[in-house]
Amino acid sequence: MLRLVLLLSVCSAAIGCGGGGPPEFTAPPVRVVCTTTIVADVVKHVGKERVAVETLMGPGVDPHRYLPTAGDREQLEGAHLVFFNGLHLEGKMTDTFEKSRRRFRAFAVTRDISERDLRPADTDGGAHDPHVWFDVKLWAKSIDPIRAELAKLDPGGAAFYMTNANDYRQELDKLDAEVRAAAGTLPKERRVLVTGHDAFGYFGRAYGFEVRGLQGVSTASEVGTTDRDRLAEFLGAQRVPAVFTETSVPDEGLKAVLDTTRQKYGHTVRLVGGDDALYSDALGAPTSPGGTYAGMVRHNIKVIVDALSK
Ligand SMILES: [Zn+2]
């Protein structure tokens, strides 16, 4: 009987005998798994050489539609820490995070952003627009949850994480000022940003753009004929010079809208794509301009200002 009691208590300490809990951390590097490349970028800035970061969704992968594989689950379970965006960005992974809560230490990097700073949106069962990284100042709030969780797990690195977090916050402050200055060179009436899905709401709010997306806040939403017609009418009425494709979203839908705009309203809109496609929900390959968060933000604002100033 005593043996049975002992066995049971050992089991509950390990959190569920079958799968076990997250691995114990003994010494750096802290093994971190992130969902998106954008989240991983912050972790790398805060953790530097004390972390080994892996990312489930690679460059150009759409997080709204991403389904976790068996291999991902293994990766998550082997990590000391897991960071995800939250706010239902990873709409199809909600179950993985909620049902396997005890199998890994998973944290949403957006947890410190207060409700009043979030844009309401109905997305995959979530109540808010998850694309907070397009407001650089708001995204800077993802630094501290990451710093705090790293320091809790690895107290020996606490001072190091603090220094890195402060440095990166300053870098983002400068980046925010840079975007604001670039946006300011465009006359107010030209600040109209139209993209494949409605990812740029926070960008618009922060930097003074009117923003339209063909699809809703999630790419998992349906696009109907009415959506297409309405956008074509808007483009025609406003004589919008250019619309933008995104690296993580197919552009067929936008092309169809531009055909309608030309046929019905006699207005030709430029489709900005190829190397100039905007990075929306994923970074680019490590060597591309959008290989880092700061690089992605700089690329986007440059492309947007160039195309809309013509
Ligand atoms: Zn999105």
Cα(151) to ligand 1 centroid in Å equals 30
pLDDT bucket at 121, cuts 50 / 70 / 90: confident
Last residue of a domain, one of 141, 176, 211: 176
As a whole number of angstroms, the distance between CA 205 and CA 203 comes to 6
As a whole number of angstroms, the distance between CA 103 and CA 80 comes to 11
Domain assignment present for residue 9? The answer is no
Q: How far apart are the first and last CA of the chain?
A: 81
Please tell me the total count of domains within the chain.
2
If asked whether residues 283 and 194 sit together in one domain, one would say: yes
pLDDT bucket at 126, cuts 50 / 70 / 90: confident
pLDDT of residue 71: 93
Mean pLDDT of 143-159: 98
Domain assignment present for residue 8? The answer is no
pLDDT of residue 124: 67
State which residues form the domain around 91.
21-176
Token pair 């990097």 is found at 109
Cα(198) to ligand 1 centroid in Å equals 7
Cα(182) to ligand 1 centroid in Å equals 23
> pLDDT by residue (tens digit) across 67-105?
999 999 999 999 999 999 999 999 899 888 877 778 899
If asked whether residues 70 and 167 sit together in one domain, one would say: yes
Ion ligand 1 — residues with CB < 5 Å: 199, 281
Mean pLDDT of 177-182: 98
Mean pLDDT of 54-73: 94
pLDDT of residue 13: 38
Cα(285) to ligand 1 centroid in Å equals 18
Cα(100) to ligand 1 centroid in Å equals 24
The letter for the amino acid at 112 is D
Last residue of a domain, one of 146, 161, 176: 176
pLDDT of residue 147: 98
If asked whether residues 157 and 224 sit together in one domain, one would say: no
- What does the CA dihedral 39, 41, 43, 44 come to, rounded to 10 degrees? 160
If asked whether residues 168 and 231 sit together in one domain, one would say: no
> pLDDT by residue (tens digit) across 238-267?
999 999 999 999 999 999 999 999 999 999
Domain assignment present for residue 6? The answer is no
3 state DSSP class of 107: strand
Domain assignment present for residue 155? The answer is yes
If asked whether residues 86 and 119 sit together in one domain, one would say: yes
Last residue of a domain, one of 154, 176, 198: 176
Which spans in 69-219 are helix H? 70-77, 94-99, 136-139, 143-153, 158-184, 201-207
Tokens, residue 295: 């690089």
Helices 158-184 and 293-309: crossing angle, nearest 10°?
A: 0
Domain assignment present for residue 86? The answer is yes
Cα(181) to ligand 1 centroid in Å equals 25
Mean pLDDT of 197-204: 96
If asked whether residues 167 and 228 sit together in one domain, one would say: no
If asked whether residues 170 and 188 sit together in one domain, one would say: no
Mean pLDDT of 201-220: 94
pLDDT of residue 19: 57
Q: What is the CATH number of the domain that holds 245?
A: 3.40.50.1980
265, with CB counted inside 10 A (0-12, 13-18, 19+), is middle
